């Protein structure tokens, strides 16, 4: 793919990623967020976080299956959007639901365990966002950077569990997210096992004694 096309797609992702936020701001300004605007803001930003997390996790399997290696160029932006909406999601909860009170937020976390799971997901995304720049990749070295960025799996799994735990009755939607994530992570596991098997088989047998 040409450099110009990559730049254009990046611009498309950048603009489209901001659309949900723009709609929320617009609807909030026009009092169109329904009977419980605070909850609407929390739920929508939470959903956007999860969607961007899953999209980020989909890049590598898609790239390997299709051979479209250029897809990798969009992974960072998708991941950063996941982090961005995750921060907004937390901020909506912290400000609108908890009135910026740290003690009230912590008390609520002890009461509602899914908040601890959600916070775990968001916290592990912090080092990922910090080390997402080219300079940080260089500084850490590819191997260490890749090892650190496996935390994205933790974030995605914790994000889905958090969603599942907070749903009151109908768990179908969180289960769909769980199934999609299982396929994406399962693909990675299969690739990993296939790669390590021949390496082990090729290794010379240890001499007795």
Q: Interface residues with ligand HEM (CB under 6 A)?
A: 39, 42-43, 46-47, 49-50, 53, 86, 89-90, 93, 115, 118-119, 121-122, 155, 159, 162-163, 166
Distance CA 1, CA 4 (A): 8
CB of residue 7 to ligand HEM, shortest distance in Å? 29
User: Which residue lies nearer to ligand HEM by CB, 61 or 159?
Assistant: 159
User: Which residue lies nearer to ligand HEM by CB, 28 or 196?
Assistant: 28
Query: Strands (DSSP E) along the chain, which ranges?
Result: none
List phi, psi (to 5°) of 118. Answer: -60, -40
Distance CA 30, CA 14 (A): 25
CB of residue 89 to ligand HEM, shortest distance in Å? 5
Distance CA 10, CA 13 (A): 5
> Residue 51 CB: number of other CB atoms within 10 A?
16
CB of residue 109 to ligand HEM, shortest distance in Å? 6
CB of residue 48 to ligand HEM, shortest distance in Å? 8
């Amino acid at each position: 793919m040409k450099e110009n096309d990559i730049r254009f797609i990046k611009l498309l992702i950048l603009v489209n990623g901001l659309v949900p936020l723009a709609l929320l701001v617009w609807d909030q300004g026009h009092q169109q967020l329904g009977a419980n605007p605070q909850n609407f803001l929390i739920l929508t930003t939470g959903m956007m976080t999860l969607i961007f997390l899953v999209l980020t996790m989909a890049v590598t399997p898609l790239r390997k299956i299709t051979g479209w290696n250029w897809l990798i160029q969009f992974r960072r932006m998708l991941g950063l959007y996941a982090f961005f909406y995750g921060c907004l999601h937390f901020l909506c909860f912290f400000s609108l639901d908890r009135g910026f009170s740290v003690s009230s937020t912590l008390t609520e976390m002890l009461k509602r365990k899914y908040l601890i799971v959600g916070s775990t997901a968001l916290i592990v995304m912090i080092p990922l966002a910090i080390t997402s720049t080219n300079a940080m990749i260089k500084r850490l070295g590819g191997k260490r950077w890749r090892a650190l960025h496996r935390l994205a799996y933790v974030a995605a799994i914790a994000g889905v569990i958090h969603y599942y735990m907070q749903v009151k009755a109908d768990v179908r939607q969180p289960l769909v997210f769980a199934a999609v994530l299982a396929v994406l992570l399962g693909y990675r596991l299969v690739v990993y096992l296939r790669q390590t098997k021949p390496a082990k088989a090729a290794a010379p047998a240890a001499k007795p004694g």
